[in-house]
Amino acid sequence: MTITHFSRSEAACKCGCGFFAQDWELLEVLEDIRAFFGRPVIPNSWCRCPAYNERIGGANDSYHMKAMAADIWISGIGADIIADYLERLYPDRYGIGRYPGFTHIDVRPNKARWIIPKPDPD
């Protein structure tokens, strides 16, 4: 598969430290999502250095620190619709997290699923 829709700046750590790595399996998954929905896939978070991951409260063993995870959204497509698609496509592997406004995908070898609900309004 040709990787054509993602840039280094989209994947690099958001803290500006310059951390960047590529995981081809993740890139193929992201390209597949884009092809299926026919719209740009926008990463909120992709590669993270350990300091940035800690600063934003990421998991200690986050796949973002291995460049094996991305938090994504697609304009006009609900996060649950993206997660539903990924769960159908990869029923027995990968980490798929449902968050308010975005979907997490990581290419861990085993299956993991989780849901972070929207906060209750005060």
Residue 69: exposed, middle, or buried by beta-carbon count in 10 A (0-12, 13-18, 19+)? buried
Q: What is the pLDDT of residue 22?
A: 87
Structure tokens at 2: 């040709």
Local confidence pLDDT in tens for the 122 residues of the chain: 556 788 888 999 999 999 999 899 999 999 999 999 999 999 999 999 999 999 999 999 999 999 999 999 999 999 999 999 999 999 999 999 999 999 999 999 999 999 998 887 76
Q: Report domain extents, the chain.
A: 8-115
Residue labelled with tokens 């996060």: 79
φ/ψ region of 101 (left if φ > 0, alpha if ψ in -120 to 50, else beta) reads left
Structure confidence at residue 122 (pLDDT)? 65
Kindly state the greatest CA–CA separation across the chain.
47
Q: Which fold has domain 8-115?
A: Muramoyl-pentapeptide Carboxypeptidase; domain 2 (3.30.1380)
